[in-house]
Structure 1
Amino acid sequence: MPTDYGWKLPDDVWAIPEYERKDKAKFDNDLCQLGNRFFIRCVLKLPFIDQADFYAWGIWVEVSEPDFYRYVELYDQDGSTEPQIPGIIANAMLGYSTTLGIPVLVQYQASTSRPSVTVSVNDHPLSVEQSHGIDSHRYHEILVATGSLSGL
C-alpha cells in the first residue's frame, strides 16, 4: 500500500492553464515562484499508530522571500540546524475539509531530504493526526481520498 501522496505544484500555480504556466511561474520539483510568492516542496509526516513508519504528504508551503532564498542557499547542504521558519500550506489536501492557508513551521533537512512540516494550529485534524498518529482505519480513508484505493 502506498505510504505517501504529493502534489506537483502549489494549487494556485496548478490552476494556471498549462499553456500559460511556464510564462507566469518558475518552478522545478522542489522550488516555485509565482510573481512575488515563493514556495518550497516539503513533507508532512503522520505517524502510524498500529504499524511502524509514517504516511507522508508531499505538500507545497508558501514562505517569505528571504526564507525561500535561504533554503536555496542551503539546498546542497545540511540545513537541519537552521531555525524553523513559518509558512502556510499551499495545497488543498485530500481527506480534510480545509488545509489551504493553514500555518505551519518548516524545518530544513539534510541535502538529501525535503524540509519537514509541523502544523501550527493545534485543533486542526491534521495537527491532531500529526501529534497522535493515524490508525489503520484513517489510513484506509486517506488511501480512498487520494484514489490509491477504491472505497469498499
Structure 2
Amino acid sequence: MTSILDLDPRWRALQDMGGVMDIGFDHPSAWPHGERGDQPFVKLGDDQLASELCRFGEDRFICATLALPIRGSDEHVVFALWVKVPNEGFYAYIETFDGAASPAPFDGKLSSDLGPLANLGAKVSLEFNDTSTRPTATLAQGATDISLDDLIDLYEATGTLSRDDLSKS
C-alpha cells in the first residue's frame, strides 16, 4: 500500500535499507555502569542487569515493548524500553518465570530516553501477556504515534542509523 511518506526520499532510503528498524535500549537511563553489551548478565555489587530485568540500588526495572504507528504510513516502530516499577510488581513479574500467573497491569515510570516522544519519568502502564513475551507498555502521556523526523532523531541518538545514511543515493 502506498503511503504519503513514499514521497519523502528519506523514507524511500529507509525502505531500501530494509524498512523500519526497531529500537532497543540496553539498560535503564539510571544505570551508571555502562552497557551490558554481549554479556547476558552484569553484576556490580548489589546492582544487576540482564536483558529483561534490572536492579539498581533500591530501584527495580523491567524491559517492555512499546509500539507506535509512524504518521503517514501503515508501519509501526517497536521500542524495547525500560520502565521503573514498584518492587511488588517487579517480584510478581519474576514469579511468572517460575510458572505463576501474569500480574495484573500496573504503572511504572519511563526510564529510557525517548527524546521528544515522552519525558524520562513519564507514567507508563504495563500489561502482561504471557511469560514468552515482554510486557506491553503504553504511555499515559506523550506520543501516541511518531513522525519520520522524530524516528530519524531517535535512530541517531541511539546509534541505530545516521541521518547521513538516509541522504546517500
Give the RMSD, CA atoms, in angstroms.
Answer: 2.7
Range 45-54 or range 63-72, more displaced: 45-54
In 2: Cα distance, 1:56 partner to 1:64 partner:
24
Counterpart in the other structure of 1:48: 70
Could you tell me whether the CA contact under 8 Å between 2:84 and 2:111 is conserved in 1? Answer: yes
Shift of 1:48: 3.3
Does 2:163 correspond to 1:150? yes
Shift of 1:115: 0.5
Secondary structure of the structure 2 residue equivalent to 1:11: coil
The TM-score with structure 1 as length reference comes to: 0.75
Does 2:47 correspond to 1:25? yes
Question: Number of matched residues?
Answer: 139
- The structure 2 residue matched to 1:8, chosen from 20, 23, 26, is 26
Secondary structure of the structure 2 residue equivalent to 1:12: coil
- The structure 2 residue matched to 1:109, chosen from 129, 140, 162, is 129
Q: Note closer, same or farther for the CA distance 1:17–1:116 as it changes in structure 2 (3 Å cut).
A: closer
Ranges in structure 1 where 5+ consecutive residues have no aligned partner = none
Counterpart in the other structure of 2:139: 119
- The structure 1 residue matched to 2:59, chosen from 37, 40, 43, is 37
In 2: Cα distance, 1:9 partner to 1:110 partner:
22
Q: Note closer, same or farther for the CA distance 1:67–1:56 as it changes in structure 2 (3 Å cut).
A: same
Percent identical = 23
Counterpart in the other structure of 1:92: 113
Larger Rg over CA atoms: 2
In 2: Cα distance, 1:17 partner to 1:24 partner:
15
Counterpart in the other structure of 2:14: none
The TM-score with structure 2 as length reference comes to: 0.68
Could you tell me whether the CA contact under 8 Å between 2:23 and 2:155 is conserved in 1? Answer: no
Q: Note closer, same or farther for the CA distance 1:140–1:8 as it changes in structure 2 (3 Å cut).
A: closer
In 1: Cα distance, 2:59 partner to 2:112 partner:
14
Could you tell me whether the CA contact under 8 Å between 2:116 and 2:150 is conserved in 1? Answer: no
Counterpart in the other structure of 2:146: 134
